[in-house]
Copies of this chain bind each other. A is one copy, B any other.
Amino acid sequence: MGNLTGVFTILREAQKQLALAGRKEKDEGLQAVMNAIDEDREAILAANKQDVERARASGMKEALVDRLALNDKRINEMIAGVEVVLRQEDPIGRVLDGWTLPNGLFIEKVTVPLGTCAIIYESRPNVTVDAFCLAYKAGCSILLRGSSAALESNRALVASIRRALASVNRFPDTVALADSGSRDEVDEILSARGLVDVVIPRGGRDLIRRVVDNARVPVIETGEGNCHIYVEPSADFQNAVDIVENAKIQKPGACNAVETLLVHRDAAEVFIPLVAQRLAGRVLLRCCDRSRAVLEKAQNIPSSLKIEPATEADWATEYLDYILAVKVVDSLDEAITHINRYGTKHSEAILTNDLAASQEFEKRVDAACAYTNASIRFTDGGQFGFGAELGISTQKFHARGPMGLEALTTIKYRVRGTGQIRE
In the bound assembly, the distance between CA atoms of A396 and B362 in angstroms comes to 30
In the bound assembly, the distance between CA atoms of A397 and B374 in angstroms comes to 32
- Using Cβ atoms and an 8 Å threshold, which residues of chain B touch A421? 242-243, 245-247, 250, 374-375, 377
* Cross-chain contact of A398 among B374, B397, B415, B417 (Cβ < 8 A): B397
Contacts A364-B20, A396-B114 given; does A105 touch B416 at CB 8 Å: no
A residues 59-117 near B (Cβ < 8 Å) are 99, 101, 105, 107, 114-115
Contacts A99-B385, A396-B115, A412-B400 given; does A105 touch B378 at CB 8 Å: yes
Least Cβ–Cβ distance between A162 and chain B, in angstroms:
25
A150 in the interface (beta carbon within 8 A) = no
A411 in the interface (beta carbon within 8 A) = yes
A371 in the interface (beta carbon within 8 A) = yes
- Using Cβ atoms and an 8 Å threshold, which residues of chain B touch A101? 378, 383-385
By secondary structure, the A interface counts as: mixed
A303 in the interface (beta carbon within 8 A) = no
- Using Cβ atoms and an 8 Å threshold, which residues of chain B touch A395? 218
- Using Cβ atoms and an 8 Å threshold, which residues of chain B touch A363? 19-20
Least Cβ–Cβ distance between A227 and chain B, in angstroms:
13
- Using Cβ atoms and an 8 Å threshold, which residues of chain B touch A422? 246, 250, 375, 377-378, 383
In the bound assembly, the distance between CA atoms of A369 and B367 in angstroms comes to 33
Give the residue among A213, A372, A419 with the most B Cβ atoms within 10 A: A419
Query: A153-170 interface mask toward B, CB cutoff 8 Å, 1 = contact, 0 = none?
Result: 000000000000000000
A401 in the interface (beta carbon within 8 A) = yes
Q: Which residue of B lies closest to A365 (CB)?
A: B412
Q: Which residue of B lies closest to A240 (CB)?
A: B419
Least Cβ–Cβ distance between A21 and chain B, in angstroms:
11
A residues 113-167 near B (Cβ < 8 Å) are 114-115
A414 in the interface (beta carbon within 8 A) = yes
Contact yes or no, B412 A367, CB < 8 A: yes
Give the oligomeric copy count.
Answer: 2
A418 in the interface (beta carbon within 8 A) = yes
A368 in the interface (beta carbon within 8 A) = yes
- Using Cβ atoms and an 8 Å threshold, which residues of chain B touch A401? 411-413
Contacts A243-B419, A246-B421 given; does A369 touch B105 at CB 8 Å: no
A50 in the interface (beta carbon within 8 A) = no
Contact yes or no, A417 B372, CB < 8 A: yes
Contact yes or no, B383 A410, CB < 8 A: no
- Using Cβ atoms and an 8 Å threshold, which residues of chain B touch A99? 385
Q: Which residue of B lies closest to A215 (CB)?
A: B216
Q: Which residue of B lies closest to A340 (CB)?
A: B16
Q: Which residue of B lies closest to A349 (CB)?
A: B415
Top 5 A-B residue pairs of the complex, sorted by shortest distance between their CB atoms = A374-B417, A246-B421, A377-B422, A396-B410, A239-B419
Given contacts A19-B363, A383-B422, A401-B413, 20 further A-B contacts (CB under 8 A): A99-B385, A101-B383, A105-B378, A107-B384, A197-B397, A213-B216, A242-B421, A243-B419, A250-B422, A368-B413, A372-B415, A373-B419, A374-B417, A374-B418, A375-B422, A379-B413, A397-B397, A397-B398, A398-B398, A401-B412
